[in-house]
Amino acid sequence: MSVVEKAIGLLNHFSTARPEIGLSEFCRLARRDKATTYRHLTALEAVGLVEQNPTTRAYRIGPAALRLAELREATVPRRDGVLQPLATLADRTGESAHVSVLSGSSLHSLAVHESTRHSTRVVIDVAILPLHATASGISAVAFGAPELRDAALANMNRFTDFTPTTPEALDAAVAEARRTGISTSDSGFEAGVHGMAAPIYDQSGALAGAVAVASVATRMTAEQEFTNRTALVEAARQITRNWGGTVPAVVEAAWADTLTPMPREDAAR
Amino acid sequence: MSVVEKAIGLLNHFSTARPEIGLSEFCRLARRDKATTYRHLTALEAVGLVEQNPTTRAYRIGPAALRLAELREATVPRRDGVLQPLATLADRTGESAHVSVLSGSSLHSLAVHESTRHSTRVVIDVAILPLHATASGISAVAFGAPELRDAALANMNRFTDFTPTTPEALDAAVAEARRTGISTSDSGFEAGVHGMAAPIYDQSGALAGAVAVASVATRMTAEQEFTNRTALVEAARQITRNWGGTVPAVVEAAWADTLTPMPREDAAR
DNA sequence: ACCAATGGTTCATATAATGAACCGATGCAG
DNA sequence: CTGCATCGGTTCATTATATGAACCATTGGT
């Protein structure tokens, strides 16, 4: 791992729950010594990616982040086409909704919307989603390029007792996702969190990311699952349209099958 | 300069005008060899700060930028408090308006708004503003901590024939800014660009940055200058209020003096 | 069929990253 | 006010890591 990755990796320890981090705390989080951590932080500070709270001396994300994000949206506009469908999804399901984008073979969180219906809800606060342990990741493997399966297999960390850690377990989840058009992960990443996700596409025609709903597992009923499924399909269609893509016929067919299991009169369209 | 700074420094070559950059072009821009540039780019790619356009192989800003910006906003909400006053400023003056924030002793561009009144306008496309050669920088030196003057003197690049490159020239501009509350830079950074700036403050009570108007120099008249000055003061007050700061009395006094030069009946308030 | 680009890779060399130990400041308990 | 713990920051010999000239393999233009 290069110095650059190590240094920038420090930024991953920031979250909305932990927006400012002191030097010593950084050393503990990053499991590195003080001198190295300090130099990395001052380097990041020099380029504006972090700055120090002048009163507490704690470090926080710096202003350069804003400029980079502006450039990103100017280059690859994604965020705008996502916020409205995401809000609707969170509303309709009453759960936390989020969208991730595929970059190379990793899935980056793009936007989150938490519903206020329940007092308990899932907080998504992670930068890079593991491919094998999240519903979004399973969607990526199921509907993305074959290399994504290799990438998933190359990094099968066990997060909970339910994390799929064998190729067979992964393939089973992937097969189910391909059959229904919706991937599922029950406590695979975090215990007590039930995730469902659908693939989204952009103008390139290739898989671009995933839209997902994260529910408190104890709240999942057959009815809730059907609501999630319906709302997810709608959100995936909208985001795909906003990004200038089209949902592949095979995915639309899978969605149609599971949404109208018995009669299939309106399966066309 | 550490590797981290070099690698992240590559990101500064992106701009709205040049949103994607190939490997060879990067080597030329960064004046570094291919192998090094390539390794830096792959490191940045690994952390999601850049990604490759799958078809052209050119590099562009990656999705991690969005997450960092989101965290920045959650930690230090700035941008929201700037956009509306900036649009008003651009509207009232008919020129390009922009805001920069101070981080340590460098001035980072935060937001830009271009007026559509004229077909020719100034395009601001720079990440870090030089302290000695821009109106915003002069404002920072004039109203910020004394160390900023040292930082300015330590890096007096000559950009044009009009760039102040002596301590005397700098101090003269700074004195004028302190007297009027508005700094000026005529073609100091880019030929033909006339800049005016006012200081802005945040909740810490210290200088937080500057708001500026960049005009095509040939369009500057006494009337235009007065319009800019008035609109700048209003924008600086609004942004400062939005950031939870207060304008120091001495700056308010300087503004009042130059805005009502002859009578001073309503100087109080 | 050629040339001039491009993106990417190799490997000996030299430079830059590393971390244990250290410093001074601050805060707290007895 | 003394002693202890923790904080942010610094030093310097050791060593790992970054470097870049030279090298491929492709691509696109003429």
Residue B265: band (very low, low, confident or very high) from pLDDT cuts 50, 70, 90: very low
> Cα separation of A145 and A263, whole Å?
33
Residue B261: band (very low, low, confident or very high) from pLDDT cuts 50, 70, 90: low
* Section B65-70 average pLDDT: 91
Domain boundaries, chain A: 3-67, 76-267
| pLDDT score at A116 | 87
| pLDDT score at B262 | 53
Q: Is the pLDDT of residue B34 over 50?
A: yes
* Section A132-161 average pLDDT: 93
Angle at A22 between CA B77 and CA A20, to 5 degrees: 20
| pLDDT score at B52 | 92
What is residue B57's DSSP assignment?
Answer: -
> Cα separation of B164 and B171, whole Å?
9
Asked if the Cβ–Cβ distance from A65 to B60 is below 8 Å, we say no
Kindly give, in sequence order, each residue whose CB lies less than 8 Å from that of residue A28, ignoring residues fewer than 6 positions away: none
Q: Is the pLDDT of residue A154 over 60?
A: yes
Question: Each residue of B233-251: pLDDT tens digit?
Answer: 999 998 988 887 889 999 9
Average pLDDT score over chain A: 91
Question: Each residue of B158-169: pLDDT tens digit?
Answer: 999 999 999 999
A106-113 vs B106-113, strand pairing mode: unpaired
| pLDDT score at A121 | 84
Percent of chain B beyond pLDDT 90? 65
Residue B84: band (very low, low, confident or very high) from pLDDT cuts 50, 70, 90: confident
Residue A21: band (very low, low, confident or very high) from pLDDT cuts 50, 70, 90: very high
Instruction: List protein-proximal bases of chain C (any atom < 7 A from a CB).
Output: 5-11, 16-22
Average pLDDT score over chain B: 89
> Which uninterrupted H or E stretch holds B235?
helix B222-242
Q: Is the pLDDT of residue B8 over 70?
A: yes
Q: Domain A3-67 class? A: mainly alpha
| pLDDT score at B104 | 82
> Cα separation of A228 and A196, whole Å?
8
Burial of A29 (0-12, 13-18, 19+ CB in 10 A): middle
Chain B positions in Cβ-Cβ contact with residue A8 (cut-off 8 Å):
4, 8, 43-44, 47, 49
Residue A161: band (very low, low, confident or very high) from pLDDT cuts 50, 70, 90: very high
| pLDDT score at A267 | 45
Residue A133: band (very low, low, confident or very high) from pLDDT cuts 50, 70, 90: very high
How many Cβ atoms sit within 10 Å of the Cβ of residue A174? 22
| pLDDT score at A174 | 97
Q: Is the pLDDT of residue A260 over 80?
A: no
Q: Of A5, A19, A48, which has the smallest distance from its Cβ to B47's Cβ?
A: A5
Asked if the Cβ–Cβ distance from A51 to B3 is below 8 Å, we say no
Residue A261: band (very low, low, confident or very high) from pLDDT cuts 50, 70, 90: low
| Residue B126, phi then psi, degrees to nearest 5 | -140, 145
Chain A positions in Cβ-Cβ contact with residue B101 (cut-off 8 Å):
63
* Section B46-54 average pLDDT: 91
A84-93, A119-128, A225-234, B18-27: least confidently modelled range: A119-128
Tokens of A249: 């016929």
Question: Each residue of A97-121: pLDDT tens digit?
Answer: 999 999 988 999 999 999 888 878 8
A119 or B147, which is more confident? B147
Going from the C-alpha of A122 to that of each of A112, A126, A133, the distances in angstroms are 11, 12, 16
- B154 vs A: CB within 8 A: no
A119-128, B82-91, B224-233: least confidently modelled range: A119-128
Widest CA span of chain B, in angstroms?
Answer: 67
Going from the C-alpha of A253 to that of each of A192, A201, A211, A248, B72, the distances in angstroms are 31, 16, 18, 9, 41
| pLDDT score at B263 | 47
| pLDDT score at A167 | 96
What is residue B60's DSSP assignment?
Answer: E
Kindly give, in sequence order, each residue whose CB lies less than 8 Å from that of residue B204, ignoring residues fewer than 6 positions away: A54, A55, B245
Sign of the dihedral through C-alpha A58, B154, A4, B66: positive
Q: Of B3, B20, B69, which has the smallest distance from its Cβ to A65's Cβ?
A: B69
Q: Is the pLDDT of residue A268 over 70?
A: no
Q: Residues in chain B, how many?
A: 269
> Which uninterrupted H or E stretch holds B197?
strand B193-201
| pLDDT score at A262 | 52
| pLDDT score at A152 | 94
Q: Which CATH number fits domain B76-267: 3.40.50.300, 3.40.50.920, 3.40.50.2300, 3.30.450.40?
A: 3.30.450.40
* Section B196-221 average pLDDT: 91
Give contacts of B 180-219 with A, CB under 8 A.
204, 206
Q: Is the pLDDT of residue A29 over 50?
A: yes
Percent of chain A beyond pLDDT 70? 96
| pLDDT score at A149 | 93
* Section B92-96 average pLDDT: 93
Q: Of A11, A40, A110, which has the smallest distance from its Cβ to B68's Cβ?
A: A11
Tokens of B245: 């700061």
Q: Is the pLDDT of residue B259 over 60?
A: yes
When computed from its CA atoms, the radius of gyration of chain A, rounded to whole angstroms, is 20
Asked if the Cβ–Cβ distance from B4 to A9 is below 8 Å, we say no
